Amino acid sequence: MINFYPLFYITGIFLTIASCTNPSSNNPPFEVKYKGELKNIMHKGDISAKANLSDFKKTENLYALGAIEQLKGEIQIFNGKPFNTMVVDGKIIFDTAFSKKATLFVYASVKKWKTINIPDSVMTIEQFESYLGLLVKESQLNINEPFPFMIKGMIKSFDWHIINWKEGDMEHTHDNHKTSGLNGTINDRQVVMLGFYSNSHHAIFTHHTTNMHIHVKTMDGKLAGHIDNFILGKGMTLELPKLN
């Protein structure tokens, strides 16, 4: 377990910590890969299939997120178990098989995770992104290479959406994606969130304003989809790939 410096955040100024070299970089235990690119969706309107989920059915320890082809739903796969969501007649429909194709698909195989307690002072999504970046710099992970992460526990609130793009609509904006299907805010719920962090994949699998792309599944099985914002609750944990 990694203990983060208790003074990582002082009067609005984040401390700078030198990056560490990953001794396992020559033989990493995981590799983040992707199919499709956000810039082609947003700027070219290309929402055609770029991956067939059935090709990944036998991939061990698979963690993945993305969007279903034609932007008709959200993809979430936790340890090889899909929990994908679509909107049909105004209702959430769940798909737990590898039966769909993806417009965007970001994935990695992770055998082991290490758990870190998130400081209670880290609450907003912006604070978490800064915390995560600094934490990784002092760990054995390579901050310049993409990596997956998970957040677990009782979240205070989160904004979510499940995309349901209208056929023929070419006006692709983040707001339009959020409002095309179902969206809302949920409070005080046990969740597991899967994210991918990268400082070099803007407009590829993260939007240009963030280094993170995050999806969520509530532990009661009633919702899964894309995260737009959140406020973390106390006692939540972060999981990062274990290198050895």
User: Strand ranges (DSSP E) for 22-112?
Assistant: 33-35, 51-52, 62-68, 74-78, 81-82, 84-88, 91-95, 101-109
Query: What pLDDT does 168 receive?
Result: 83
- Residues 93, 129 share a domain: no
- Residues 105, 118 share a domain: no
* Domain assignment present for 26: no
- Residues 105, 116 share a domain: no
Tens-digit pLDDT profile for residues 104-147: 999 999 999 999 999 999 999 999 999 999 999 888 889 899 99
Query: What pLDDT does 27 receive?
Result: 58
- Residues 90, 210 share a domain: no
> What's the number of domains the chain is made of?
2
Domain of 60, in residue numbers: 33-109
* Domain assignment present for 83: yes
List, for the chain, all residue ranges whose pLDDT scores fall below the cut of 50: 1-25
- Residues 237, 116 share a domain: yes
Query: What pLDDT does 166 receive?
Result: 87
- Residues 175, 234 share a domain: yes
Task: Answer with the one of 70, 91, 109 that is the final residue of a domain.
Answer: 109
* Domain assignment present for 2: no
- Residues 116, 56 share a domain: no
Task: Please report, rounded to a whole number, the percentage of residues in the chain having pLDDT higher than 70.
Answer: 89
Query: What pLDDT does 174 receive?
Result: 78
Task: Answer with the one of 77, 109, 141 that is the final residue of a domain.
Answer: 109
- Residues 98, 65 share a domain: yes
- Residues 127, 90 share a domain: no
* Domain assignment present for 20: no
Instruction: Return the CATH number at 45.
Output: 3.30.1330.80
- Residues 130, 214 share a domain: yes
d(CA 227, CA 74): 11
* Domain assignment present for 152: yes
- Residues 187, 70 share a domain: no
* Domain assignment present for 12: no
User: In angstroms, how far is CA 50 from the centroid of its own chain?
Assistant: 19
